[in-house]
Structure 1
């Protein structure tokens, strides 16, 4: 396993995930009867700061439809948590218009690079071009100065 499991923290993440799903109107329990669902969810609400009870609640009452989704959500959360500890692996996000993203995506596929690699490549190319242009401008100015001295 690449990322260490932190039982207390992951239980809290599971609690937050399940409560959010419940507030979105999704049945998080394996029960169909509404009053029973409400009672079971109230139990979960009471367990907020008790990781062991949260895990037991999940084992006993979680909807079978959410088992895989919960595991995936926690795995993703664990990855983001540990990657955020290091500056190099911490993910940043930017907002792009769809047309820009589409062009960037096509260019990335053509170059066989990730979007991040493509953006870095394009920035490097632009910086190289700017450096080349400044060197050319300086050389032209030097040549003009030399030509003026000959006269």
Structure 2
């Protein structure tokens, strides 16, 4: 069985209002997270936000199940494996909810994904994927 688990950081967007001060996402460590095909394997990426004023940040995944970060990766035949996503650096840990943040010249965020389901010999081989989206609103 050859199983590969992949989480793509597909979208990072910044949406500014008219006359908003500058905000930007910087120093992304990885745009692709690779998990081993073993129970509780982990992968992480980090990035910084530099913003001259208060802003909100929202974390989401294509396959998000709830606001506590439960998600799943899926292969081309629609077989799913559960994952758990975690956020470090935000003032709240809720997913798919804008999180108010204070102005900062450099605030570091870390997103960690963990395989929360044990693959077995019966788990279909393939590449399993999910996509992570980070939206910055200022």
* TM over 0.5, shorter chain: no
Return the structure number with greater strand share: 2
Return the structure number with greater helix share: 1
* TM-score normalised by the chain length of structure 2: 0.23
* TM-score normalised by the chain length of structure 1: 0.22
